[in-house]
Amino acid sequence: MTQKKTIITTDRLLLREFHSSDAASFYELNKNVEVMRYTGDIAFESVEASRHFIEAYDAYANSGFGRWTVILKETNECLGWCGLKKHADGMIDLGYRIHQEYWGLGYATEAAQACVAFGFKELSITKIVGRTARANVASIRVLEKLGMKYWKDAPCEGIIDSVFYRISK
């Protein structure tokens, strides 16, 4: 994993494939209780565990897309990740996780909009789902800004009280 392949660029952001150099940033991201509050995920135990996750990440090879590292062009800082995920049942969801110090600046929305557009235009995806905890009002706002509409309530990956939104091409 030596190459950092850029997938999407926006006015302020660059989205690229995960790279082992992201390990420390991803570890810090997942260590933040506020960031992880609504995810249902467990934080990495160490930077090395984060690196192992990145090096074992096979979504790009298996489906041709995945989650991507979000980089702020101006400073080259890692803001977190955003991207699409294909599930075993064929559902494709949009996910994002941004370092708390960058919340409220529009980065999640900008990255998510770019991912949805990429999915529709470049990958010929026809439907994308967004899932979050009902209590995660900020994430719901991002999904609604993308044009996603409420679809259903359903449990998802460790989040019992989840809401599903979706958008079609």
- Residue-wise pLDDT for 96-112, tens only, equals 999 999 999 999 999 99
Confidence at residue 125, expressed as pLDDT on a 0 to 100 scale:
97
What is the rounded CA–CA span in Å between residue 38 and residue 165?
A: 16
Overall residue count recorded for the chain in this entry: 169
For the chain, the structural domain boundaries read 6-168
DSSP assignment letter at 53: H
Query: Is the pLDDT at 160 greater than 50, yes or no?
Result: yes
Report the pLDDT averaged over residues 20-29: 98
1 pLDDT tier (thresholds 50, 70, 90): very low
Nearest to 109 by CA among 76, 70, 75, 74: 70
- Residue-wise pLDDT for 114-154, tens only, equals 999 999 999 999 999 999 999 999 999 999 999 999 999 99
Query: Is the pLDDT at 2 greater than 60, yes or no?
Result: no
107-121 helix and 137-145 helix, angle to the nearest 10 degrees: 40
Cα 132 to chain center, whole Å?
12
pTM of the prediction? Answer: 0.95
Nearest to 69 by CA among 32, 124, 24, 117: 24
Q: What percent of the chain has pLDDT over 70?
A: 98
CATH class assigned to 6-168: alpha beta
Confidence at residue 4, expressed as pLDDT on a 0 to 100 scale:
76
